[in-house]
Chain A
Amino acid sequence: MSAVGNAAPAASPPLRAIIRGAGFIGLGVIGVVVGLADVLARAPANAENVGPPLLPPSAQFPFGTDILGRDMASETLHALAVTATAAGFGALVTVLAGGLLGFLAARLPWGLGLFSRWIAGVLGAVPTLLLGILLIGLTERSFAPLAAGLAAAPIAFLRSFDRARELSFSRHAEFARATGISRNALLRRDLAYEFRDTFLVNATRALAAVAIILSTVSFLGFGATPPHRDLGLMIGAARDTYFDHWWTATFPAAALALLILCARLAAALEEGERP
């Protein structure tokens, strides 16, 4: 059999649009849930002894309770709100410090653009997770969302820089230069079109990347601190109990995976593609 005889193309444009739409709807629902977290949750964040400790899921406690008798459903909602809010802020940092700066740097004169690309390339060679942990270590834990956003920025910078370079050598750019249109006018035009066409994709891609970094650093003990527990910290705290009480880690992990999945779908990432 030929290996590529029936090679399937990537998802067709209508299917891709449906997938992206599903991702955005999912993110919208998560946004509403996050906004109403305090209303939807039956117990306030970190309210202990709401029920007996380590109670399995039941009609009264749909996600069960943890070792301190906290309602897991309420805790997961509050933690999702913390994770999504922090990841949203981090994603904005990535888009600005990575996407926007990368696009602008590609048009810098006197080799400054290539110099900045070299710096981003060096930072991009360090795994984003380690870069995030390093930035938190150099500052403090409360800066974790900013650190996660900055850690994801080099990859976004490189992607944006290469795209801008490609655009600057495109036919429309050559035509513009030949007809005397200034570099700044061309940059403004390209930036406006780039923003219109790719902002949502870049932002959701960054959201997925930052959510992974943030939850992982919290799991490793470098991110969120009580009482502002995020999903990574909840999963990390359940390490000792989840073998016998699976619900203490499963529901926060499912909520985290759902957030990342929706962001991945909205960004139209391919299966297995890194955000």
Chain B
Amino acid sequence: MWRFGLRQAGRLALGLLGAIILAALVSAAAEHGSSAYGRAVLAHLLGFGRLDFGTSAISDRPAWTELARRLPATLELLGFGAVVAVVIGAPVGILLSAGRVLRAGAPLMQIVAAAPVFCAGLGLLWLSERVLHWTGGPRDTSFLAALMSGDLGAVQAELRAVALPALTVGAAGAASVQLSLRRAVSRAAGEPYRRGLHAMGLGRFEIDRVYLVPQIVAGLLHSLGEVASSLLAATAVAEWVFGWHGAADLFLKSVALQDWTVVALVLLVFAALTMTAEFLGVMGARLLAGTERAA
């Protein structure tokens, strides 16, 4: 386990190093001429070493300050999106893998999966306003701040504001979650130990509870990086569609205004989030597999 953990940590460190180099390459994009560009890349790399991520060309404030103002909103949206993804994706994944009749719903999933996230977001917006006569409402503070204040009205208002974007992000994540679950269930169903343990007198429920559930959860965890990547990509679109002022929105505006230091920092943070999710997922899956063996 230790050796596996160290190897994975090494992979994460190498990946983060690559993301830092990529960020330095992007940060220096404003420089013209190969020697000036090379010097700028080196300067940015050294700056990153001192946790100096440069200054925004638009606001003249440190890039980190710009991102720090926007990142909590993105993380909040990601968090809610992840919850929605699991709440929708887990039952769908289990239902779709539980029998031929339910598999008949699979073509519908294909059609739903073919709709790009922005179409889904616009559709949701139209449905909520025109059919349900329900609008998300403006965003005053963050959900966490509202929760800390203990003001139930503020919490409700924040939940209303986050509902539609979180549903859009969550729907994109749910597709990955259900697929990971279905693959894990399909793999586990073919394991010969289930038949063997059943022949030895153990009940199916007992076998599934002790051996199968950890295997399925491990399968899901193993895909955590992919799920995180889906959620992040969907967040970028949802922030634009719903006017959510998060880090992805900052990225889009910064690319449009060629503010490369901010662009590079957002890329670095997003890549780090995906890599960390992948690392945690792989480690969690391995830990669960170990637990299962011990059981």
Is B truly associated with A?
A: yes
From 159 to 207 in chain B, residues with beta carbon under 8 angstroms from any chain A beta carbon are 174-176, 178-179, 182, 185-186, 188-189, 194, 204-205
Beta-carbon contact of B111 and A257 below 8 Å? yes
Contacts of B32 in A (CB 8 A): none
Contact with B along A171-214 (1 / 0, CB 8 A): 00000000000000000000000000000000000000000100
CB of B37 within 8 A of chain A?
no
CB of A227 within 8 A of chain B?
no
CB of B68 within 8 A of chain A?
no
CB of A121 within 8 A of chain B?
yes
Query: Nearest Cβ in chain A — how far from B227, in angstroms?
Result: 10
CB of B232 within 8 A of chain A?
yes
Beta-carbon contact of B18 and A130 below 8 Å? no
Contact with B along A128-164 (1 / 0, CB 8 A): 1110011011100000000000000000000000000
Beta-carbon contact of B111 and A261 below 8 Å? yes
CB of A42 within 8 A of chain B?
no
Beta-carbon contact of B19 and A127 below 8 Å? no
Contacts of B256 in A (CB 8 A): 137, 221-222
Q: How far is the CA of A215 from the CA of B275 in the complex (A)?
A: 27
Pick the contact of A5: B111, B204, B237, B255 (CB < 8 A): B204
Task: Report how many residues on chain B are interfacial, defined by Cβ distance under 8 Å.
Answer: 73
Beta-carbon contact of B110 and A264 below 8 Å? yes
CB of B100 within 8 A of chain A?
yes
Query: Nearest Cβ in chain B — how far from A265, in angstroms?
Result: 7
Contacts of A264 in B (CB 8 A): 110, 113-114
Contacts of B109 in A (CB 8 A): 271-272
Query: Nearest Cβ in chain A — how far from B247, in angstroms?
Result: 10
Beta-carbon contact of B97 and A216 below 8 Å? no
Contact A270:B188 (CB < 8 A) given known A125-B229, A235-B118: no
Beta-carbon contact of A243 and B186 below 8 Å? no
A-B pairs with beta carbons under 8 A, tally: 170
Query: Nearest Cβ in chain B — how far from A163, in angstroms?
Result: 17
Beta-carbon contact of A4 and B188 below 8 Å? yes
CB of B252 within 8 A of chain A?
yes
Query: Nearest Cβ in chain B — how far from A18, in angstroms?
Result: 12
Q: How far is the CA of A133 from the CA of B258 in the complex (A)?
A: 12
Beta-carbon contact of A123 and B22 below 8 Å? yes
Contacts of B229 in A (CB 8 A): 125, 127
Task: Report how many residues on chain A are interfacial, defined by Cβ distance under 8 Å.
Answer: 52
Contacts of A274 in B (CB 8 A): 175-176, 226, 230
Beta-carbon contact of B122 and A253 below 8 Å? yes
Contacts of B236 in A (CB 8 A): 127, 129-130
Which of A7-15, A48-56, A62-70, A72-80 touches B?
A: A7-15
Beta-carbon contact of B185 and A4 below 8 Å? yes
CB of B36 within 8 A of chain A?
no
Query: Nearest Cβ in chain B — how far from A141, in angstroms?
Result: 11
Contact A125:B204 (CB < 8 A) given known A4-B189, A216-B116, A272-B176: no
CB of A59 within 8 A of chain B?
no
Contact with A along B246-281 (1 / 0, CB 8 A): 001001100110100001001100110011001000
Beta-carbon contact of A257 and B114 below 8 Å? yes
Q: How far is the CA of A186 from the CA of B278 in the complex (A)?
A: 34
Beta-carbon contact of B233 and A130 below 8 Å? yes
Query: Nearest Cβ in chain B — how far from A131, in angstroms?
Result: 8
Q: How far is the CA of A212 from the CA of B255 in the complex (A)?
A: 20
Query: Nearest Cβ in chain A — how far from B87, in angstroms?
Result: 15
Beta-carbon contact of B271 and A3 below 8 Å? no
Contacts of B134 in A (CB 8 A): none
Beta-carbon contact of A130 and B267 below 8 Å? yes
Contact A127:B232 (CB < 8 A) given known A239-B122, A264-B110: yes
Beta-carbon contact of B98 and A7 below 8 Å? yes
Pick the contact of B270: A127, A215, A257, A273 (CB < 8 A): A127
Q: How far is the CA of A60 from the CA of B266 in the complex (A)?
A: 49
List 6 A-B pairs, minimum CB-CB distance, nearest first. Answer: A122-B18, A272-B175, A7-B189, A271-B109, A261-B114, A127-B233
Please name 18 further chain A to chain B contacts, defined as beta carbons within 8 Å, in addition to the given A127-B229, A136-B255, sorted by A numbering. Answer: A3-B185, A3-B212, A4-B97, A5-B204, A7-B98, A7-B189, A121-B18, A122-B22, A125-B229, A130-B248, A138-B26, A220-B240, A222-B256, A242-B122, A243-B130, A271-B178, A273-B175, A274-B176
22 sampled A-B residue pairs with Cβ under 8 A: A4-B188, A4-B189, A5-B204, A7-B185, A8-B103, A123-B22, A126-B271, A127-B232, A130-B251, A130-B270, A134-B263, A222-B252, A235-B122, A242-B122, A243-B126, A243-B129, A243-B130, A271-B109, A271-B178, A271-B179, A273-B175, A274-B230
